[in-house]
Structure 1
């Protein structure tokens, strides 16, 4: 996890503008560099580093003696960097996983380079020889990137939107259209003689469900005829490649299927790879939390060094404002689920030496894990909803995972969003991927049923959202929040909310409370999310699964 920042074509004091880079210091607490490019006095690159690989030579902007006119700043992990170096006969000068990006850009161009990367990334390349800027982001937007550009040629880029505030040439930041960079895209900008950047082309290099041959960790000819064996094999490979780290790796563990499977595979593979430290697992919840009980069962079964964090309702309520500031979102489900993850990450950073954390994000979208999938009218409709969720992940669950952990200088890794795993899974018959016998993610569960990785009661534990599982069954987390919001928001305010906030108008006091906090930090930027996350095929304004009929049964 790192933070990148850049401006191009500024006609203001670049040094003064560079202060904005410090708004993302939390993403890279280990080192910081800002560089004014001597070829372009009105351009600047900034980088906050979280050191994971090659502590000695991994500082950015990264430049090579071979290509001295190419500057690279990126936030991400390229899991196939050694394979690429071997296949394309690269002479590497560092152990940095991003170095092959420079070689590939120079020999194959920006789009072909991005297509060959197996990993998660958000990057900015400055090519001073050819006067170009190239931006790119991974398929699912696991690593964040924002940018804005003006018709006058001013381009600004940052890992988080907050680092772009204060850079506007307008007196009112509300007039500035800061946009999330689209996942799976590469943009090329031409730089004129004044250092101003103008968009030349925008290319989608990878779509959900597609996988270039360079990202095949397992060649198709080695697949088994048994679908379940392939599912288990590909998920294990996805976890294995994500153990690439010079820093300690741990697991966020809710006790649900997704995080438990990932933790079990991490423990199994750590022995195979010779990792000598005990794997730490981390769980958070309130008194009576169903997640805490389940996580303890998993940790005991796996023999991990388990950390159980007990949070109070008061701590959760107090953390909402800071959580929204880091999230840059007011989505109800996202905020609810992020508070626990934010506080858990705080504990990990303050109390342990774990820096890289594995998590189960993406599994519900890929494998139709949400309870509302039981209501899908057809297998095809369920497939289309799954793809839609995956394409929007960067605005919801992936955003939650990144910001909640990055707020405390941690790097999150999400094996369920591995390209080879997701493309194979989506290629399977749509009926095979639907809930079966009243159980969601039946295929995933049955793929590991006889492996002994997890206790049966965990492997087949019904789905429970993280924002629900951190609280007891007697009073859910969303009910605790709503009780507080009844005191903070008047009925009069709620009645006028639609006219005050016409985009995504809040319909509940909780939604209005979140929106007001968001607007205090990011006025006029409600367009960052197009809609509130809600279950499909269900007539409800309440996203909690605990209100759904299937959950109650």
Structure 2
């Protein structure tokens, strides 16, 4: 796990070295163990290293192939590197790293080598003989890769701040991405909040051949879901899921540093810990952040799992005030604005301080095994599609009446649904995930119109791809693909990366093993519908988890944000709201009205709707962006 930077097309090696040093310095927190650079006319590549596999100096990057032809910078882990190393046994290895296996694989397979990798990665490789450059990002988007093109120059980095530190990127707010952020508290790739800065899409790569840049996809859920479940019984599918998940966990336990697992006591983290315990040679180290207040704490569930699997458990007890004190640091660590993130920052901080450099997480379980309420909602809306055939005028009257009689977030969304011309997934799903409705955003932005809904675009692109290739995911898998391609990749994974790497902590996610993902996406709905919480997953695990964990209420971090923003965080929030209102990008009067409605206890204005605006202004100030 590391951070990578690069500059392509800058002829002056002196200028490139200076710029690369600044970029490496900006992401030093990602890799405190080593720093390296490679600079020749037209190519500059740099890396900050967090040593996980082969801790010796032999793992230094940029790494050159044995013949000196290939130059590589790499962020992430290739979990099956040992198997690949045995297959590629003609290469003269000099290290025990997975990095060198990428070089060996490239020598044999070229760009097709990526299909052989099981891991999380973002890497850039230069073939000196062919003068070809490639930038790759992993299938599920676990590791980030940002880029910026200016005339004949291309810059890339693991973080936005790496690009900004170059001095070559204009610090200008991307106003076109603002509606996306206001809708979903995140900006969906490939866009970012900075004009001209893009994020390479998951499962994609950039090639620069003979000076021409091109972008292509090498993997997508729609094209790569498995057909292996066809004709299989439920018992066989459960067996396959258990086997794939067990292998995914085992692959992610290879490391040369102390590691453990996040343990909340929920189904996903408990499953990871239980499977780790079955294959570990030593007691698994587990970490839980708990609270003294019973309403916020998952301590008893985590303790029950720790006892069942005899883990070396560390319970880190925080008061809400302890958490509150860390919020300014969490905001400072934010590389790209997000309505979420402080929770991951706190968990990562205390885990790293406990001596852990790598941790496994249960992230992805909800998206893959229908763990969110949205899966049931989308199923119901699909079943009642006939309702959208009723006269639109009648439905609109009903929606407005409901919204007026009982103002709330739920009634506002139902009003939008009733106003939809049809209830196909690409129309209904974006509304269920939207934070601020479009009719209100027109008032807040003072615009006559808004950019097209990016989440809707992502779903429509997905359905178009399925139609073109005569494939069709099951309904629940379509929702999974929507969750993966929107909320998970652009909020959860981005937050996990930026907040864990702020503490030089690597987080691995077994549920996003691509072989497991491909298989589960192909499972028929009848085997996956959550008649009980994450039914297919819990059934596949058999007696691994106690019923107390399976049937427990879903909590996550439940913190008194509503109270904090009216009391302890009031000064911070009030200052940022006023400052944001003065930027000229939002309707200042409407913005302040929203803030005061929240302070007055308006049920239609939840804390998260205001907090994302506080975060946005803090990030814009921190990065000195101009409107």
Report the TM-score range of the alignment, normalised by the length of the smaller protein. 0.7 to 0.9
Deviation of the 1:219 alpha carbon: 13
Instruction: Give yes or no for contact 2:91–2:104 (8 Å, CA) kept in 1.
Output: no
Which string of whole-angstrom CA distances, capped at 9 and with x for unpartnered residues, describes residues 14-63 of structure 1? 232122211111111111112323xx2x5322111111112232111111
Secondary structure in structure 1 of the residue aligned to 2:62: coil
| Offset, 1:449 | 3.4
Supply the distance in 1 between the matched residues of 2:24 and 2:579 (Cα, whole angstroms).
Answer: 37
Separation in 1 of the partners of 2:504 and 2:168? 31
- Give the distance between the partners of 2:500 and 2:223, measured in 1 at CA: 28
Q: Decide whether the 8 Å contact of 1:27 with 1:406 is kept in 2.
A: yes
Point out the more displaced range, 507-516 or 82-91: 82-91
Residues 1:524 and 1:8: Cα distance change in structure 2 (over 3 Å): same
Q: Distance in 2 between matches of 1:79 and 1:304?
A: 24
Q: 1:222 to 1:82 in 2, by over 3 A?
A: farther
Deviations 1:473-526, CA, capped at 9 Å, x for gaps:
xxx445534654555445984995896348xx9764323212211212245599
Match of 1:370 in 2: 372
Please say if residues 301 and 455 of structure 1, whose CA atoms lie closer than 8 Å, have aligned partners that are also in contact: no
Structure 1 segment 190-201 matched on structure 2, within 5 A: 190=209, 198-201=211-214
Aligned counterpart for 1:297 among listed residues 300, 304, 314: 304
1:445 is matched with: 538
Secondary structure at the aligned position of 1:98 is classed as helix
| Alpha-carbon distance in structure 2 between the residues aligned to 1:108 and 1:117 | 12
- Cα deviation for residue 418 of structure 1 reads 0.6
- Select the residue among 189, 196, 207 that pairs with 2:208: 189
Shift of 1:123: 0.1
1:521 aligns with 2:622: yes
Relative distance call for 1:202 and 1:297 in structure 2 (3 A) is: same
* 1:159-170 matched pairs, under 5 angstroms: 159-169=158-168
SS in 1 for 2:75: strand
3-state SS of 2:63 partner: coil
Specify the alignment match of 2:410 in structure 1: none
Question: Residues of 1 paired with 2:84 and 2:200: CA distance?
Answer: 26
Alignment partner for residue 517 of structure 2, among 398, 418, 422?
Answer: 422
| Alpha-carbon distance in 2 for matches of 1:178, 1:170 | 8
Q: Does 1:312 align with 2:319?
A: yes
How has the CA–CA distance of structure 1 residues 370 and 244 changed in structure 2, closer, same or farther, with 3 Å as cutoff? same
CA contact (8 A) 2:172 2:626 kept: no
Alpha-carbon separation, structure 1, partners of 2:376 and 2:217: 33
1:383 is aligned to 477
Alignment of 1:215-364 (within 5 A): 226-270=236-280, 275-276=281-282, 278-288=283-293, 289-332=296-339, 335=340, 338-352=341-355, 354-364=356-366
Match of 1:33 in 2: 36
Q: Distance in 1 between matches of 2:220 and 2:10?
A: 34
Quick one: distance in 2 between partners of 1:280 and 1:311?
A: 19
Secondary structure of the structure 1 residue equivalent to 2:331: helix
Q: Name 1:454's counterpart in structure 2.
A: 545
Structure 1 residues 203, 172: CA separation in 2 closer, same or farther (over 3 Å shift)? closer
Cα distance in 1 for partners of 2:278, 2:330 equals: 34
TM-score (norm 2): 0.71
Is the alpha carbon distance of 1:383 and 1:523 closer, same or farther for their aligned partners in structure 2, counting shifts above 3 Å?
farther
**Correspondence 1:48-63 to 2 at 5 A:** 48-56=48-56, 57-63=58-64
Per the alignment, residue 467 of structure 1 pairs with 557
Structure 1: distance between partners of 2:44 and 2:223: 35
Indicate conservation of the 8 Å contact 2:59/2:99, yes or no: no
The alpha carbon displacement at 1:225 in A equals 5.1
1:156 corresponds to: 155
CA contact (8 A) 2:4 2:157 kept: yes
Query: Secondary structure at the residue paired with 2:323?
Result: helix
Q: Contact 1:146/1:181 (CA < 8 Å) preserved in 2?
A: yes
SS of 1:267's equivalent?
helix
Distance across 2 between alignment mates of 1:98 and 1:131? 21
Shift of the alpha carbon at 1:139? 0.8
Q: Provide the rounded CA distance (Å) in 1 between the counterparts of 2:169 and 2:539.
A: 57
Counterpart secondary structure, 1:396 = helix
Matched, 1:113 2:88: no
Extract unaligned runs of 5+ from structure 2: 174-193, 384-473, 595-608
| Contact preservation (8 Å) 1:168, 1:176 | no
Q: Distance in 2 between matches of 1:342 and 1:108?
A: 39
Mapped contact 1:165–1:173 kept (Cα < 8 A): no
Structure 1 residues 222 and 251: CA distance shift in structure 2, 3 A:
farther
CA contact (8 A) 2:6 2:45 kept: yes
CA RMSD of aligned residues (A): 3.1
Higher mean C-alpha deviation, range 5-14 or range 204-213: 204-213
User: Deviation string for 1:406-458 (max 9, x for gaps)?
Assistant: 1111111000001111111110112322221xx331221222232xx332201
For the pair 1:97 / 2:98, whether they are aligned, the reply is yes
Distance 1:233 1:224 in 2: 14
- Show the counterpart of 1:547: none
Task: From the superposition, tell whether residues 188 and 355 of structure 1 become closer, same or farther in structure 2 (CA, over 3 Å).
Answer: same
Q: Report the TM-score, using the length of structure 1 for normalisation.
A: 0.80
Cα separation, 2, equivalents of 1:92 and 1:291: 50
Q: Deviations over 1:96-142 (max 9, x none)?
A: 113232233233221x1212211111001122222122100001111
Contact 1:187-1:199 at 8 Å conserved across structures: no
Counterpart Cα distance in 1 of 2:35 and 2:232: 44
Contact 1:374 1:440 survives alignment (8 Å): no
The equivalent of 1:47 in structure 2 is: 47
Cα offsets for 1:329-378 (capped at 9, x unmatched): 4332xx2xx323212222222232x2110000111111121133332224
- CA contact under 8 A between 1:231 and 1:425: conserved in structure 2? yes
Structure holding more helix per residue = 2
